[in-house]
């Protein structure tokens, strides 16, 4: 029996996780659910999944949830605030933590899960981008187990030898190939990028996802963040990580070996596959995903990414080269830019311009602690806000 905390339970990954656990009540017990500010969907999850604990970061929302939980006689303790998330991630009675909060907000509770030696199922890629070295060191030092949920990284994990120890050369690996769908604007004429609306950017051709990661997919910053994520997860230098566009999203990523073998993981684009894989690893369980019908899929095509169309991808490689401080600035500036774009206050094609400007003003060097990472994150957000204010003036 695995006992779970789900961080980001009300989100897309959180709900997919609960969909899988519900299929196997004999294997999984949901102990704690945590989210940001929406109390109504959290109440509904409490009714259905009966967790012992539920937490919301927003105090007012948590108070409303606490009241309703009491009125309905649910046996659930409601907590509030950021610290509560870290507490639920480190509960003694929990062995497995799904880290599916979006953005930098997920870093502290995800680190807390690693520090408590849990099995960490990592969807929150921003945490690794912000503090990859620190996070991997924490996992090692505290004997935590890290399993990737991001479909590409889960595919790479499945395509690497069992017990892979972070040394590409020792495993005989030549390259890691991350596939990218190219998002909704893969073939759109470049001159139309200026007028792209938030809803157009969020209409991903193959995946249903939260709005932030959907915009990241449209700019291909998502793939840039994933290159950095692969670097930390698999100990791979940037020169050994390549991106290939694959519009059908059936091949989820590949590993190329010295002898010329290329091993890939395939499947329908449905996050319940990597979630089920990581939940039950090393066993296999049903996920609810329909079987892949290769004949119906028809052609699988591949092409090189165009960094003129997707400058964010190149910005991410540059940040990886420049070091941890630049990666923090890249991520923070991107979060600010995407939030402003989604609010209707920034043009789609200005997202990379803002990010490049913020990263260029960043101090360089390694990052030793969570406090330092959070300080650099805050500094980059201030730069981004000033850039946006100058633009508006």
Residues that bind ligand NAD (CB under 6 A): 8-14, 35-36, 38, 57, 100-102, 105, 123-126, 150, 207, 209-210, 213, 271
CB 233 → ligand NAD: shortest distance, Å?
13
Q: Closer CB to ligand NAD, residue 11 or residue 51?
A: 11
Report what 180 binds from ligand NAD, Mg ion, none; CB cut-off 5-8 Å by kind.
none
CB of 209 to Mg ion, least distance (A): 9
Report what 126 binds from Mg ion, ligand NAD, none; CB cut-off 5-8 Å by kind. Answer: ligand NAD
Which residue's CB is nearer to ligand NAD, number 35 or number 51?
Answer: 35
8 Å CB contact between 367 and 134: yes
105, 107, 109, 114 alpha-carbon torsion, rounded to 10°: 170
Give the residues across from 3 on adjacent strands.
Answer: 29
Number of residues forming the site for Mg ion (CB under 5 A): 3
Q: Smallest distance from the beta carbon of 143 to ligand NAD, in angstroms?
A: 24
| Residue 207, contacted partner among ligand NAD, Mg ion, none, CB below 5-8 A by kind | ligand NAD
Kindly identify the residues of this chain, within the stretch 132-161, that bind Mg ion according to CB under 5 A. 150-152
Ramachandran angles phi, psi of 139, nearest 5°: -60, -45
Residue nearest to Mg ion (CB): 150
What's the CA gap between 301 and 110, in Å, rounded? 36
From CA 217, how far away is CA 181, in angstroms rounded? 8
Give the shortest CB-277-to-ligand NAD separation in angstroms.
13
Q: State the burial class of residue 355 (Cβ atoms within 10 Å of its Cβ: 0-12, 13-18, 19+).
A: buried
Residue 162: exposed, middle, or buried by beta-carbon count in 10 A (0-12, 13-18, 19+)?
exposed
Provide, rounded to whole angstroms, the least separation between the CB of residue 192 and ligand NAD. 26
Using the CB atoms, write b or e for 2-12: b if 16+ within 10 Å: bbbbbbbbbbb
Residues that bind Mg ion (CB under 5 A): 150-152
């Amino acid at each position: 029996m695995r006992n779970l905390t789900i961080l980001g339970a009300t989100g897309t990954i959180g709900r997919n996780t609960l969909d899988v656990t519900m299929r196997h009540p004999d294997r999984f017990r949901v102990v704690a659910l945590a989210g940001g500010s929406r109390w109504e969907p959290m109440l509904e999850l409490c009714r259905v999944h009966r967790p012992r604990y539920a937490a919301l970061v927003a105090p007012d929302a948590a108070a409303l949830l606490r009241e309703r939980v009491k009125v309905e006689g649910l046996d659930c303790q409601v907590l509030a605030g950021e610290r509560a998330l870290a507490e639920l991630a480190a509960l003694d009675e929990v062995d497995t933590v799904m880290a599916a909060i979006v953005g930098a907000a997920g870093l502290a509770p995800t680190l807390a899960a690693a520090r408590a030696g849990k099995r960490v199922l990592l969807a929150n890629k921003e945490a690794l981008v912000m503090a990859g070295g620190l996070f991997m060191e924490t996992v090692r030092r505290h004997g935590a187990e890290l399993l990737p949920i991001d479909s590409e990284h889960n595919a790479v994990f499945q395509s690497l030898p069992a017990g892979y120890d972070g040394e590409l050369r020792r495993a005989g690996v030549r390259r890691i190939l991350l596939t990218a769908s190219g998002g909704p604007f893969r073939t759109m004429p470049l001159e139309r990028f200026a007028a792209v609306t938030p809803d157009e950017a969020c209409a991903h051709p193959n995946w249903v996802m939260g709005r932030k990661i959907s915009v990241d997919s449209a700019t291909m910053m998502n793939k840039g963040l994933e290159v950095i994520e692969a670097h930390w997860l698999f100990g791979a230098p940037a020169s050994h990580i390549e991106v290939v566009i694959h519009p059908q999203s059936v091949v989820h990523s590949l590993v190329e070996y010295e002898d010329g073998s290329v091993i890939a993981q395939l499947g329908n684009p449905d996050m319940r596959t990597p979630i089920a894989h990581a939940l039950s690893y090393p066993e296999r369980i049903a996920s609810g995903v329909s079987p892949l019908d290769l004949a119906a899929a028809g052609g699988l095509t591949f092409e090189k990414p165009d960094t003129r169309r997707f400058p964010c991808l190149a910005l991410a490689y540059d940040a990886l080269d420049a070091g941890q401080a630049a990666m923090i600035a890249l991520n923070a500036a991107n979060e600010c830019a995407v939030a402003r774009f989604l609010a209707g206050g920034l043009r789609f094609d200005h997202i990379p311009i803002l990010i490049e400007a913020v990263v260029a003003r960043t101090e360089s060097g390694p990052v030793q602690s969570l406090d330092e990472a959070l300080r650099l994150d805050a500094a980059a957000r201030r730069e981004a806000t000033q850039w946006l204010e100058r633009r508006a003036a």
